[in-house]
């Protein structure tokens, strides 16, 4: 009989032997499984590879080019070769330009100067609209290095005559042109040198020329009068320096005017600028490029946009082709300048209907604001407050019609004006003078400074406070007296009709205002629903003529 100790040892040996046997058994099973899985996987993989057969796949074939029905591509091929890239270089000089403003803008695309200086894009607001469009270069400090800018243009004569914007080449010391057929940018080769033939700042049009041994492709000018709102148009140019870029849109409006502050002598500098508005994308560098209709003819030149981001927002403006042709023909003449006729008067571009009713020309006409001393109108006896209603028997609708007719007259010729004075029809034969010479000497007189003395008269009805006009101001303006507006209440009748603070009132409803008493007497009789028309003078304005402000009293 075995002892318990021996029995325990035998049992442990048996268990350990069984544990090892179990372990080896499990390992054997796993090994067999792995081997079987490998064989099966290899078998499946081999079968899949055997089933991949791409012998029946057919290669893709690039189709022949297709001509689409919209015709855009055909037009671009036709006119594209005549569209050029213009780049300019200006030597360092002092500049008063101030960056960072938004609004109506125009100008070439300013490039970063060699020293790497740069500035914010966006220069020009509604009052300096015709100074820079798409401005955005660095400061023109003497140490800033040469300034470079990009714009566009188009060839109208195979001998190398090109139309572009004046602001593209204005103040440039060097002008270079690249044709669509010229090689891409080559180091040290800015393009073909160009010379300025003539410029017209009033319409922002310039004519430049490049020398050529062979006839160049040209673009055909169309008649902008035929363009209709809603017509398809293409804008072609070099936005952001990307040459031969095309954008499509429609004619959004015609005969669009852009409000701008008066120039020297109180004369509006934009009265010869009536634009075609389009939603075709126009961006920095598009200035001077053509706006083309579906006949492949130029109906306008891309000139400006309204923007709050220095980029296209769908409101672009193009100078009509009819204006381009008229100005171009004068600029290529012997004098290389534009001559416009004038009779020597100044007037407001827009007036309230109350003014026309008060002065008797509700059916159309232009009321004279001031007369240039010793000018043709003054010599013919015209006076402020005369309402011109016809020229050579043709009725005049408004100031645009008057300017269009008179400006085309040759200096030295005459016209017969029909006008109203105190409601009576009169006529006068008036000579035509050179507009540039006539207004060249008009200066800007400094404004008076005075301490206003407020008056309660007129506050309840008109919303203004006035004081007697000082003798110095009256003498400067050439008036016997009047009252000066010292404050205008926001939202009042005066504010609604645009009667400004600082204006000198000399008449109300054709009754003279010479002092505080006469002013009080007139406004005390004004009643709700009546037309109220003020004759005012602005001491700070150049020229100092009459300004007419009116409306219907609520």
Which domain CATH number covers 162? 2.40.10.10
The confidence band for 70, taking pLDDT boundaries of 50, 70 and 90, is low
Q: Is the pLDDT of residue 193 over 60?
A: yes
The confidence score (pLDDT) of residue 519 equals 92
Residue 155 belongs to some domain of the structure: yes
Task: Check pLDDT > 50 for residue 209.
Answer: yes
CA angle 304, 309, 310 (to 5 degrees): 40
206 with 234, same domain: the answer is no
Lowest mean pLDDT among 14-18, 120-124, 258-262: 120-124
Domain stop point among 438, 456, 486: 438
Contact 131, 303 (CB under 8 A): no
Distance CA 372, CA 267 (A): 11
330 within a domain of the structure (yes/no):
no
Q: What 3-state class would DSSP assign to 150?
A: strand
User: Among residues 374, 403, 438, which one ends one of the domains?
Assistant: 438
What is the model's pLDDT at position 133?
A: 42
CA distances from 436 to 99, 267, 399, 439 (A): 31, 11, 18, 6
Tokens coding 91? 């030597």
Banded pLDDT at 118 (limits 50, 70, 90): very low
| pLDDT at residue number 325 | 94
Residue 267's pLDDT is what? 45
pLDDT above 90 (res 278): yes
> Cβ distance 409 to 392 under 8 Å?
no
Residue 33 is predicted with a pLDDT of 56
User: Which of 210, 235, 260 is where one domain is finished?
Assistant: 210
Q: Are 498 and 349 in contact (CB under 8 A)?
A: no
Q: Are residues 76 and 204 in the same domain?
A: yes
Residues 362, 429: one domain?
Answer: yes
| 260 token code pair | 């701008």
More confidently predicted of 207 and 241 = 207
pTM of the model: 0.64
Q: Is the pLDDT of residue 169 over 80?
A: yes
Same domain, 196 and 276: no
In a domain, 347, yes or no: yes
pLDDT for res 142: 45
Please provide residue 63's backbone torsions phi and psi, each rounded to the nearest 5 degrees.
Answer: -70, 165
**How big, in percent rounded to 5, are the helix, strand and coil portions of the chain?**
25, 30, 50
Residue 238 resides in a domain = yes
Inside any domain, residue 403:
yes
pLDDT of residue 546: 87
* pLDDT tens for each residue of 501-533: 999 999 999 999 998 888 988 998 888 888 999
Please tell me whether residues 203 and 78 are part of one structural domain. Answer: yes
Confidence at residue 195, expressed as pLDDT on a 0 to 100 scale: 92
Judge if 105 and 180 occupy the same domain: yes
The mean-pLDDT minimum among 144-148, 318-322, 482-486, 490-494 falls in 144-148
Residue 211 has pLDDT above 80, yes or no: yes
pLDDT at position 265 is 42
CA 493, distance to chain mean position in Å, is: 32
pLDDT of residue 286: 84
Compute the Cα dihedral for 528, 534, 538, 541 and give only its sign.
positive
Residue 536 has pLDDT above 70, yes or no: yes
What percentage of residues in the chain have a pLDDT greater than 90?
39
Mean pLDDT (the chain, rounded) = 78
Closest by Cα among 225, 379, 234, 384 to 295: 234
pLDDT of residue 127 exceeding 90: no
Residue 48 has pLDDT above 80, yes or no: no
pLDDT band at 90 (very low <50, low <70, confident <90, very high): confident
Nearest Cα residue to 105 out of 327, 289, 285, 322: 285
Domain with residue 365: its CATH number is 2.30.42.10
Q: Six-digit token pair at 514?
A: 């010479």
* Same domain, yes or no: 523 and 488: yes
pLDDT of residue 129: 36
Shared-domain flag, residues 83 and 190? yes
| Residues 316 and 255 grouped into a single domain | yes
Least confident of 16-30, 367-381, 396-410: 16-30
**Selected residue with higher pLDDT from 196 and 124:** 196
Tell me, yes or no, whether 31 lies in a domain: no
Give the other-Cβ count within 10 Å of 245's Cβ: 19
Q: How many residues does the chain have?
A: 554
Q: Is the pLDDT of residue 422 over 70?
A: yes
Looking at 439-546, which runs of residues are DSSP E strands? 464-468, 483-488, 504-508, 511-512, 531-537
pLDDT at 121: 33
Q: Which residues are part of the catalytic machinery?
A: 167, 204, 287
In a domain, 335, yes or no: no
Tell me whether residue 128 is in a domain: yes
Q: What is the domain range of residue 156?
A: 72-210
Under a CB-based contact definition with an 8 Å cutoff, are residues 134 and 105 in contact? yes
- How many domains in the chain? 4
Residue 144 pLDDT > 60, yes or no?
no
Q: Are residues 346 and 304 in the same domain?
A: no
Positive/negative CA dihedral, 468, 474, 480, 484: negative
- Do 259 and 315 lie in one domain? The reply is yes
DSSP structure string for 429-443: EEE-EEHHHHTTT--
123-127, 162-166, 171-175, 304-308: least confidently modelled range: 123-127
Contacts of 551 (CB under 8 A, 6+ apart): 352, 354, 493, 496, 497, 531, 532
pLDDT of 549 > 90? The answer is: yes
In the numeric block, which tokens belong to residue 3?
């002892």
Question: DSSP readout, 168-237?
Answer: HHTT-SEEEEE-TTSPSPBTTB--EEEEEEEEETTTTEEEEEE--SSPPP---B--GGG--TT-EEEEEE
pLDDT at 175: 93
Q: Does one domain contain both 205 and 234?
A: no
């Amino acid at each position: 009989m075995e002892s318990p100790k021996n029995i325990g040892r035998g049992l442990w040996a048996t268990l350990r032997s069984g544990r090892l046997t179990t372990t080896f058994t499990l390992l054997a099973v796993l090994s067999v499984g792995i081997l079987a899985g490998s064989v099966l996987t290899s078998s499946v993989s081999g079968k899949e590879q055997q089933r991949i057969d791409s012998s029946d796949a057919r290669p893709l074939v690039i189709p022949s080019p297709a001509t689409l029905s919209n015709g855009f591509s055909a037009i671009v091929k036709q006119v594209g070769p005549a569209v050029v890239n213009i780049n300019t270089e200006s030597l360092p000089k002092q500049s008063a330009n101030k960056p960072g403003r938004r609004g109506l803008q125009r100008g070439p695309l300013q490039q970063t100067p060699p020293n790497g200086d740069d500035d914010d894009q966006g220069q020009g607001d509604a009052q300096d609209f015709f100074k820079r469009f798409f401005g955005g270069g660095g400061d023109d400090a003497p140490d800033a290095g040469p300034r470079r800018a990009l714009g566009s243009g188009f060839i109208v004569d195979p001998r190398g005559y090109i139309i572009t914007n004046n602001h593209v080449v204005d103040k440039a010391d060097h002008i270079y042109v690249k044709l669509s057929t010229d090689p891409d940018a080559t180091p040290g080769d800015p393009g073909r040198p160009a010379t300025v033939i003539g410029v017209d700042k009033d319409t922002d049009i310039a004519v430049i020329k490049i020398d050529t041994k062979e006839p160049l492709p040209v673009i055909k000018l169309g008649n902008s009068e035929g363009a209709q709102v809603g017509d398809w148009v293409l804008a072609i140019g070099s936005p952001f320096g990307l040459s031969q870029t095309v954008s499509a849109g429609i004619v959004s409006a015609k005969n669009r005017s852009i409000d701008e502050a008066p120039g020297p002598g109180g004369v509006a500098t934009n009265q010869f600028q009536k634009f075609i508005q389009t939603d075709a994308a126009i961006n920095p560098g598009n200035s001077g490029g053509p706006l083309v209709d579906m006949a492949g003819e130029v109906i306008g030149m891309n000139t400006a946009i309204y923007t709050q981001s220095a980029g296209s927002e769908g409101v672009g403006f193009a100078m009509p082709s009819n204006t381009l042709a008229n100005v171009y023909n004068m600029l290529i003449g012997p004098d290389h300048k534009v001559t416009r006729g004038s009779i020597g008067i100044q007037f407001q571009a827009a007036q309230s209907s109350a003014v026309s009713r008060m002065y008797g020309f509700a059916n159309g006409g232009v009321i004279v604001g001031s007369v240039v001393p010793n000018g043709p109108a003054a010599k013919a006896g015209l006076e402020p407050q005369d309402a011109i209603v016809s020229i050579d028997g043709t009725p005049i609708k408004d100031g645009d019609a008057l300017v269009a007719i008179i400006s085309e007259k040759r200096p030295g010729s005459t016209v017969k004006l029909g006008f109203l004075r105190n409601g009576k029809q009169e006529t006068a034969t008036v000579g035509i003078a050179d507009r540039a010479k006539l207004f060249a000497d008009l200066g800007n007189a400094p404004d008076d400074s005075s301490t206003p003395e407020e008056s309660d008269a007129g506050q309840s009805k008109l919303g203004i406070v006035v004081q007697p006009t000082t003798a110095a101001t009256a003498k400067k303006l050439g008036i016997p007296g009047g009252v000066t507006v010292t404050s205008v209440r926001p939202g009042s009748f005066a504010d609604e009709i645009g009667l400004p603070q600082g204006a000198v009132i000399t008449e109300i409803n054709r009754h003279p205002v010479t002092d505080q008493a006469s002013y009080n007497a007139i406004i005390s009789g004004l009643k709700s629903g009546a037309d109220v028309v003020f004759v005012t003078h602005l001491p700070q304005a150049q020229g100092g003529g009459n300004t007419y402000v009116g409306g219907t009293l609520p």
